[in-house]
Structure 1
Amino acid sequence: MISLLKSIDWWLILFCAFCVVAFVQLLYFWLLFRRVAWYQAPVREKTQQHPVSIIICARDEAGNLARNLPGVLVQTYSSTHEVIVVNHNSQDETRFLLEEFRKTFKSLNAVNLSQEAKGIPGKKYPLSIGIKEAKHEIILLTDADCVPASEFWVQKMQDAYAPGIDIVLGYGAYYKRPGLLNRLIRFETFHSALQYFSYALAGMPYMGVGRNLSYKKGLFFANKGFSALNHVPGGDDDLFINKVATPTNTAIVLDPEAVTLSEPKKTFRNWMHQKNRHFTTGKFYKPKHKFLLGLYSMTHFLFYPLFIITLIFFDWRLALGIFAVRAITQAIVYYKAMAKLNEKDLFAWWWLLDIWMFIYYCIFAPALWKKPKKNWA
């Protein structure tokens, strides 16, 4: 047995593993991610204007609402629409702030909740109340710390609805600020969006983000709301979409005027806390989504260690050749996809940020097995 182990060419095996990992990565870029890079929105002969109910849930968000709510209230949208802010047991000035806004904006409906829902952690309860209060079939969601990038956000998001479409996924971006942390946060946000938009275009939608998400009220109640997800603190956006999305009922909007913007975290510690909370919902995805997402993350994680091993211990020319094919493919797809999502300034850093993803997986992968904390957000 010992002689057999010694006779095995382990470097050749590792090189073959490197080839397999690189090939799988290329498949993801060629078959999936290119869909966003070369995406063209469906051509419409005329625009449409459905009645829309915009819903924002807030707890102790007076500062954010003062900054961002006006951007939602002054949307250029001539059709019937309303803005519902569900004030969930806030202890700050949120209630009084909403009363002041209500004097100027008659489309604003403030729903004040003063109790908690036992056994329903997170914001599923206030969001459910907001949806029940909604007068219109099309629900458009965002957060208190988000502001539309343009006055045409509502118009662009609702215009994606067509016969058979029940869900519209939008992009929730972060403000461009100086510093390395800002680039890391924005690249991770772009990288996640590249995946969930691509999967949706491939007929495998698996998530959306509550910062910019729309679906029909009838879809929510037909699936009994969040009843199947009430045991999970998070998931009011991604897990709900994972449950109700089908290959044909989901559309995406990549228009720069349909983006929402948020302030990114200021410290790495706060960002880690935010991402750890988000990752705890991934274990509840459908098996096919967990497999495909896991395969991509695993091969992404293994690529650089196997490249270095092949480069040093096998044949550096083959290693560099395979690396170059993947890098050129990535560069083309990232360049075009970043242009679609208005993140083009990140392109100069994409190769360093891609290496950073190896560290990212090491830091955040353990969150997949952590028990979710029962906090509001």
Structure 2
Amino acid sequence: MLTITFYLFIVVIAIQFFYYLIVFGKFAYAKTQKSNPKKIPVSVIVCAKNEAENIVKFVPLLAEQDYPDYEIVLIDDASSDETLEIFEAFEKQYPNIKLVKVKNNEAFWGNKKFALTLGIKAAKKEYLLFTDADCYPTSKDWIKEMSSHFTLHKTIVLGYCAYEKIAGSFLNKIIRFETMLTAVQYFSWAKMGHPYMGVGRNLAYKKEEFFNVNGFIDHMKIRSGDDDLFINQAAKRKNTTICFSPESFTYSKPKTAFKEWFDQKRRHVSTAAFYKPFDRMQLAMFYGSQLLFILLPIILLSFQYQWIAVLALIGFRYLFTWITLGFSSGKLKEKDVMYWFPIIEIVLVFAQLNIFLTNLFSKPVHWK
């Protein structure tokens, strides 16, 4: 039995090597991007529900972008706070802001996808750039950087949205590491020619891509997934590219309590069950190998079975993962989380296992 366990551990290392060196290496070792600014017309779309505190701070940052031809489509999704009033004030203040007011619809009650659909249809520009109401761009060149990667054939651009740093917070490091690792995954698979998801806090696509797949209609009843399920359906090798220049990043405020983050991740993870079969398989294989990498050595070392070989394999695995994630974290300006990498990884693996098991027995709460 221990011999089988040992050989299974070798297989796990081989799987990890494939992911980190072959797949994730596509992003980790990619050359620094050079933008080729274009002057294509862009509609920035922001959907908000009860986000009065955030939009007061962040909408002006969108309105101050250094870009010649863009509009901002603000969508109020039946907010019960002062969001609508603030949006109306911004519409009067900035000539390039358009307001879309969404009233609750019995068929699409509280469904963000319905609100986004109305916003997309109201957008006058052909190229759409999405972010959330609690996000803000790192520079005035955000639109310029993201739109520079559109070409005749590349009509979907996947961007990166990070979380703000909170000094002295270990939870914050976990959140930022998980966000970085997720980005490394979807950037790398996109470069491999198999894009499978994107994040709506920083995502761009041509309007025709939305209508080519009939918008969100195939997954309208699924509350989450206006970003990743759409990309899983619409993105292809020929039409998708990535943007990871620092000027293109957006930032969000992270959760400060473990339960809040746990509930947020439950919502995010729940949509993966609706991905294409290959994407579900490759994600399951990756996260399964992460878990087995932790569990199998414990069994082998507790019986002192081939302990020198086991330790050597552990060291080898940490070497190639640290190098790959080190280069990736440098590109995404998250180097400080790598100092805690082994500990964060272990905590994150068991947190994700807990999320998966919890979602099996209860449904997460989505956009209200």
TM bracket (short chain):
over 0.9
Alignment of 1:98-247 (within 5 A): 98-116=87-105, 118-119=107-108, 122-178=111-167, 179-247=169-237
Distance 2:201 2:359 in 1: 22
* Residues 57 and 144 in structure 1, CA contact (< 8 A), matched pair in contact too: yes
User: One-letter code of the match for 2:195?
Assistant: P
Alignment of 1:16-165 (within 5 A): 16-41=7-32, 43=34, 46-78=36-68, 80-116=69-105, 118-119=107-108, 122-165=111-154
Q: Which runs of 5+ in 2 are unaligned?
A: none
Normalization by structure 2: what TM-score? 0.96
Distance 2:367 2:235 in 1: 25
Distance 1:270 1:47 in 2: 39
Distance 2:277 2:202 in 1: 25
Q: How many residues align?
A: 366
Q: Which runs of 5+ in 1 are unaligned?
A: 1-9
Deviations 1:216-242 (A, max 9, x none): 101101211111011211110000100
Matched, 1:268 2:233: no
- State the shift of 1:121 in Å: 5.2
Distance 2:93 2:186 in 1: 38
Normalization by structure 1: what TM-score? 0.94
Deviations 1:278-313 (A, max 9, x none): 111111000000011100110111111111222232
* Residues 78 and 102 in structure 2, CA contact (< 8 A), matched pair in contact too: yes
User: One-letter code of the match for 2:115?
Assistant: P
* Residues 37 and 147 in structure 2, CA contact (< 8 A), matched pair in contact too: no
Distance 2:94 2:106 in 1: 30
Distance 2:202 2:106 in 1: 25
Moved more, 32-41 or 175-184: 32-41
- State the shift of 1:30 in Å: 1.3
Distance 2:103 2:18 in 1: 51
Deviations 1:140-180 (A, max 9, x none): 00000000011110000000111211110000110001211
**Alignment partner for residue 300 of structure 2, among 310, 323, 345?**
310
Deviations 1:44-64 (A, max 9, x none): 6x5212100000011111111
Structure 2 equivalent of residue 298 of structure 1 = 288
Distance 1:99 1:361 in 2: 41
- State the shift of 1:355 in Å: 1.8
- State the shift of 1:363 in Å: 1.5
Deviations 1:113-152 (A, max 9, x none): 2232514653001100000001111100000000001111
**Alignment partner for residue 352 of structure 1, among 337, 340, 343?**
343
Structure 2 equivalent of residue 3 of structure 1 = none
- State the shift of 1:75 in Å: 0.6
Distance 1:374 1:106 in 2: 37
Distance 1:85 1:333 in 2: 39
- The alignment-based identity, stated in percent, is 37
